[in-house]
Structure 1
Amino acid sequence: MPFVQRVVEPKFLSRTSLRDEDGRPRVTDEELQAVTNCTLSNALRQLASLVLLAEDIFSELTAQLQGITERSKVAQAKIEVINGVVEKYDPKKSEYVSTKVYPMFPRYTMLKDMIKDIMHDPDYMEVCHEVDP
């Protein structure tokens, strides 16, 4: 369940008292117009508050997407380096391809040596042993 970051609730727009604490009316004439004006001003306040929350949400979303973009660029660079290492290795030049008639054990050691060679390649080690921020 996600962590609640913001709570947006509508407030009562027309809940205003047109009388003071002593019970005397604050507005003597045109009470309907006073209630309408109060309701409209409260609606505008709520819309302004909602706009501020939306701006906050979208600025936070923008920051998160920029972080994702940066991490994607780093991952893409690592993939390109590893792709270069793998493409640099040509299996046709290796003796492994020509050993299909050998028993399994010598082929296994040859395959293990090929993997070890790739793992110790400086470009591969540079990419794989980086510490991510």
Structure 2
Amino acid sequence: MPFAKRIVEPQFLCRRTESDDEGVPFQDLCAISNVALSRTLRQLSDLAKHACSLFQELEHELVSTNRRVWALRDKISRIQETTDALDPKQEAVREYPTLSEFLLGQKNVHLLNRPCPVGSSLRAASAVLQGLMEEKALCNLPSEK
């Protein structure tokens, strides 16, 4: 939700305070209507100023958006001209391997690219496994499958 930049609220047109004319009420209906009319015109002029400001901001946003659109249109036309100038028969097209060929070509777990802590953990686990296998052979326990 966007933040409000302006808050325009109507004001009371004919409300008077006690400080107006030292408490003397308006003498006739004509004076009341003149005050109401002048305050209404002042509020309408303030509203027109706010509307003018809003439309100016909107115009600036539209102009900047128009500039960006024209810049993108120029880039697209340059790319289109470049691709039209290319001859697909003369340009070499790279062949990409299938996923299985790519995975077979990868050597993710190799002795050279394995971190030291992983290598030491692997050696320790291998030693423990070797010890268990030797104990099993010494005890002549039947092997479980």
Structure 1 residue runs of 4 or more that deviate by more than 3 Å after TM superposition: 17-23, 92-96
Structure-2 separation of matches of 1:35 and 1:18? 16
- Post-superposition offset of 1:26: 5.1
- Post-superposition offset of 1:83: 0.9
The runs of 5 or more residues in structure 2 that have no matched partner are 98-145
- Which residue of structure 1 lines up, in the alignment, with residue 39 of structure 2? 42
The runs of 5 or more residues in structure 1 that have no matched partner are 97-105, 110-133
Structure 2 SS opposite 1:108: coil
What are the residue-to-residue correspondences of 1:118-133 with 2, within 5 Å?
A: none
- Which residue of structure 1 lines up, in the alignment, with residue 96 of structure 2? 108
TM-score by length of 2: 0.57
Choose the corresponding residue for 2:57, options 57, 60, 70. 60
Q: CA RMSD in A?
A: 2.5
What are the residue-to-residue correspondences of 1:19-30 with 2, within 5 Å?
A: 20=20, 23=23, 25=24, 27=26, 29-30=27-28
Structure-2 separation of matches of 1:21 and 1:94? 91
Query: Does 1:88 find its partner at 2:88?
Result: no
Structure with bigger gyration radius: 2
- Post-superposition offset of 1:73: 1.2
- Which residue of structure 2 lines up, in the alignment, with residue 119 of structure 1? none
Structure-1 separation of matches of 2:21 and 2:30? 21
Number of aligned residue pairs: 97
TM-score by length of 1: 0.62
Choose the corresponding residue for 1:77, options 67, 74, 77. 74
Q: For residues 59-103 of structure 1, give each alpha carbon's deviation from its aligned partner in whole angstroms, at most 9, with x where no partner exists.
A: 11111111111111111111111111111123244465xxxxxxx
- Post-superposition offset of 1:42: 0.5
